Amino acid sequence: MAYSHDLLYQLSLVLVLFLPAFALAQTSSNGTVEVNSSLTATDNDTPARWLSPSEDFAFGFRKVNEDTDQFLLSIWYNKIPDRTIVWFPNDGNAVSRGSRVQLTADRGLVVTDPKGKQLWNSGTISDQDQVSHALFNDTGNFQLLSSDSTKLWESFSYPTDTLLPTQIMQTGGVLYSRLNKNYFSRGRFQLRLLEDGNLVLNTREILTDFAYKAYYISGTYDPSNVSNSDLGSGACGYNSLCRLDDSGRPVCQCAPGYSLVDPDDMLSNCKPNISLGCDDNNGQNSGKDLYELLEIKNANWPTSDFERMVPITDEECKNSCLSDCFCAAAAYDGTSCWKKKLPLSFGRQGSAERGSVHIKVKKGERTSHSPKDSSRNKDHGTLILVGSVLFGSSMFFNFIIICASCLGFLSIYLKNPPKAGPGNSIVEIMRSFTYKELSEATKGFTEELGRGAFGIVYKGIVQMSTSKTIIAVKKLDRVTRETDNEFKTEVNAIAITHHKNLVRLVGFCVEEENRLLVYEYMVNGSLSCFLFGEVKPSWTQRSHIAFGIARGLAYLHEECNTQIIHCDIKPQNILLDEYYNARISDFRLAKLLMINQSRTKTAIRGTKGYVAPEWFKSTPITVKVDVYSFGVMLLEIICCRRNAEDLDENGSEGNILTDWIWDCFEEGRLDNAVKIDEEVGLIEWEEVERFVMIGIWCIQEDPSLRPTMRKVTQMLERVVDVPQPPCPFLYSLK
């Protein structure tokens, strides 16, 4: 009997010890989950999950990837090695470690962050039909049921990027591709079941959700009824070609003579490296002198035809395209010539395309896989030949060859010596406009785009190469020794740069007392107007702009041949192109550092509110002054508020944004300072908090504590973690 009692005691002890493990699962063998059950996001070997009866599917938190501390609430195949995710809520927004999902009676599934703030819920349940339990069945459908088993919510009704067997897509339903492998926000492709029952696959504009014309249609209605007004670019961007790799996945590549608008996005549109516009001679010009046609086998842009010529020979087809400035490419099928105009859309390449297409490129410009490689191989062969001669000859003969080579290089150097100053050589390779040309281009300087202490900017149109180009002309309103020096500084600074996040200088004018700078025109104006206008920009747009500014500054500080300190970073000096890419402008106050120089002494430069504290001390100036200005502007981008203005209706918080943000951050009430739109999910809020910490690091009064712009870009891009920032006001009375 004693033995029996001991055995019972041991069994009861085992049950007690294992009870927490059973409680953690909180699901029965039939897939039932009770109300108030919860899961917490951790990175244990076995993730927090609820299982379907067969354990084929799991519901819970999955780590997005090993390089981040972010988790995704999702449903996945539990027995497949890579645990393929088939469903996720909240537009794919990840959550931080310690976040929790709980099944509640009145709100269904509720996701909260580690501080208890609600991030997502499956929907408010009525008082009459509250959730009794959840049922996770073997089809992968997670259902919320009432006490009488009425279905109140189910994951099958909210598909993301996958349809499971037995899952039905209702009319009006849509599936979105992921943005990329590890980022589950909605991507560029969508599969829609329209109200008329037609299933279509199309691309979309990510920021506005505008749906382009479908490139797959199930054909359940007359395709001739489709409007051509929403013509899109196909699986890849405009002016690119789509082919399938060995695994059957699409690969996008710009056409020869074209380059990506966004080098970081292989699916983005491609732009021509040269102007293919027309002059005023009825669309005809001497194109044969400027261009040549490059053949691309098994390729076509089937929707870009604008003219068919028949009967015609292949040579006549190519000559016709060369002499027609509207023609960007031509395809010949043996009898007919199809001339194609920009933008080239729905491009595809593969064995299914039996013909070839000839694309117009600038003479001498070829793709890297043809003449460049051959010339490189030729150069390599020349080196081998020279080496063979040198090593196979007598010592005396080698000496003669080396001496002759040195004399030859010396002769070339003396005939073409490098220019003494960086500005002189730069100016010579840019276009010099006459004052009359720019006066006519701007219609007598009548259409004003903006003005500042340096001068006024006007809109104009000039003839550039074979097309008319919209420009922005900055005209100095007065010429003094100081402004003339600033003019030269701006020309020298911008002319030696080449980066997608810097404004491009087209040319200049130096004529008597006139000083003018000619820039490419930025259609969306300044960041100041965009950020502080009546309509609040989306967080996606603002974060995209912040990334661009950071990359541009990192280039100026570390990647440019001559290190440049901008000295006047502020929203008024950030321009936005047609794709809302940030372009840093106005280099009139910039300092160019010599090689191996990292700091300089100079008079105070910049704009009040963005000027770093070291400007007011007798200490050398470094690139960290730009980091400080960027930090102030980053906080403005986050809050859509100027640094110097009243921040609440009562005015009790003061009028300096940087001070107020630090107070809110330190006191844990950042949501009072940053009013994020309702549709912004958790991943955006996590990004907002990270951006705020980066901004606080950038505005540290001690320059040595500020990160470099390279480090800033890495923190923005989540390449490195952002540590908790200290109080930035070390030397203030605050």
- Count of alpha carbons within 13 Å of 297, Cβ hemisphere only? 1
- CB proximity list for 5: less than 8 A, separation 6 or greater: none
Instruction: Give the strand pairing for 100-104 and 174-180.
Output: unpaired
Contact 232, 212 (CB under 8 A): yes
- Per annotation, catalytic residue among 568, 577, 586, 626: 568
Instruction: Give the strand pairing for 142-145 and 151-154.
Output: antiparallel
**568 classed as catalytic:** yes
From the list 251, 283, 286, 257, the residue with the least C-alpha distance to 270 is 257
From the list 350, 711, 381, the residue with the least C-alpha distance to 557 is 711
User: Angle at which helices 709-716 and 539-554 pack, to 10 degrees?
Assistant: 150
CA angle (124, 126, 127) in 5-degree steps: 125
Structure tokens at 474: 């900055």
3-state SS assignment for residue 730: coil
Locus of tokens 């399938």: 244
Locus of tokens 């009006």: 172
Q: Which amino acid is at 74?
A: S
Locus of tokens 């606080």: 696
- Please name the helix (run of DSSP H) or strand (run of DSSP E) that holds residue 638, with its range, or none: helix 624-639
Structure tokens at 210: 């505008």
Q: Please state the three-class secondary structure of 176-229 as a single string.
A: EEEEECCEEEEEEEEEEECCCCCEEEEEECCCCCCECCCCEECCCCCHHHCCHH
| Residue 474 to residue 487: CA distance in whole angstroms | 10
Instruction: Give the strand pairing for 356-362 and 348-349.
Output: unpaired
Contact 87, 155 (CB under 8 A): yes
Contact 145, 122 (CB under 8 A): no
SS3 content of the chain, % helix, strand, coil (to 5): 30, 25, 45
Strands (E) located in 95-182:
95-96, 100-104, 108-112, 118-121, 133-136, 142-145, 151-154, 174-180
Contact 342, 277 (CB under 8 A): no
Structure tokens at 508: 């200049």
User: Angle at which helices 624-639 and 657-666 pack, to 10 degrees?
Assistant: 70
Contact 664, 673 (CB under 8 A): yes
Locus of tokens 């709980």: 102
State the chain's maximal CA–CA distance in angstroms: 116
Which residues are known catalytic residues?
Answer: 568
